[in-house]
Amino acid sequence: MFERFTEEARDLVVRAVEHAIRLGHRYVGPEHILLAAVSTGQPASAVLRAHGVTPELVEEGIVGLGAGAGLFGGLDKDALATIGIDLDAVRARIEASFGPQALARAAQAAHRDPRRRPGPRPPRLVREWRRRRRARRAMTTVPAPGPRPPEATGRYCAPGPRPSGHIPFTPAAKKILELTVREAVARHDPQVGVEHIALALTTIKQGLVPQILSAAGAPAAALRAAILDRYRQAS
């Protein structure tokens, strides 16, 4: 999928993963891609920043909106309202008594797959196999040099150990990458660049990204037009 991505676009995707790790998230969402997209030296990033979508603001959006939004995300607000529960009021109270970090961690735990509950203890032979496999892996895998957290916008750093191992892209983030390729195809661009990622980010309607963009006072449609305009001038 990434073979047609420009060097900068690939670098952006790598950065998105690094941002997720730095923020202590065990997933890469569209918001992490946005954070990486506003931090590059490419014209598309400059356009986003000129519209008020700065790395600081995006990061605040992820940590702030994300904390409570993560824990309360996906709940049926209207259904709760029918029995007299004001979800916003509940959220406001909870956010007032718990810090954003506690909320973020609870959100992670809440969304962690409850099916991965420890089952009955496996038979001894199976445990022995697993032990050997772990030992083998420990001997053969060279520890990776460890991703350097991006320093430019690294104001917030999650406490505790960094998430390690595989950090999966959320379905929404995968959708962004898919839309990115489509943007390039639609514009008959031979390569997939940062601008296509930025354009794809302006098209999604759900999740944190639209919230962050509207918090920045930058309607997605205006951003899209500005990015297209910038590249029309260039070419």
**139 scored as a contact of another protein (CB under 8 A):** no
The answer to the question of residue 17 lying near another protein (CB under 8 A) is no
For another protein, the closer of residues 82 and 233 by Cβ is 82
Q: Is residue 96 a contact point for another protein (CB under 8 A)?
A: no
For residues 125 and 119, give the distance between their C-alpha atoms in angstroms, rounded to a whole number: 16
* Binding of another protein by 15 (CB under 8 A): no
Say whether residue 181 binds another protein (CB under 8 A).
Answer: no
Question: Which of 2, 14, 112, 135 is the binder for another protein (CB under 8 A)?
Answer: 112
In the complex, the smallest distance separating the C-beta of residue 221 from another protein, rounded to whole angstroms, is: 32
Q: Does 109 participate in binding another protein (rule CB under 8 A)? A: yes
The reply to whether 46 sits near another protein by the rule CB under 8 A is no
Residue 27: closest CA among 17, 37, 41: 17
Nearer to another protein, 64 or 163 (CB): 163
- Cα end-to-end span (Å), the chain: 25
Select the residue interacting with another protein from 17, 46, 65, 102 (CB under 8 A). 102
65 is a contact residue toward another protein (CB under 8 A): no
- Identify the residue among 17, 46, 65, 106 touching another protein (CB under 8 A): 106
Helices (H), 83-219: 87-97, 100-111, 124-140, 171-186, 194-203, 208-215
Q: Is 81 in the site for another protein (CB under 8 A)?
A: yes
* Residue number with CB closer to another protein (165 or 190): 165
Query: By CB under 8 A, is residue 105 in contact with another protein?
Result: yes
Is residue 118 involved in binding another protein (CB under 8 A)?
A: yes
Residues 148-167 that bind another protein (CB under 8 A): 161, 163
Q: Angle CA(108)–CA(112)–CA(113) in degrees, nearest 5?
A: 170
Q: 49 near 146, Cβ under 8 Å?
A: no
Among 28, 51, 72, 172, binds another protein (CB under 8 A): 72
User: Cα separations (Å) of 8 from 42, 96, 210?
Assistant: 8, 41, 24
Choose among 191, 183, 182, 181: nearest CA to 227: 183
Q: How far apart are CA 212 and CA 171, in angstroms?
A: 19
Question: Phi/psi zone of residue 98: left (φ > 0), alpha (ψ -120 to 50 degrees), beta?
Answer: beta
Which amino acid, 95? E
- The site for another protein (CB under 8 A) is made up of 71-72, 74-77, 79-87, 90, 94, 98, 102-103, 105-106, 109-110, 112, 114, 116-118, 161, 163
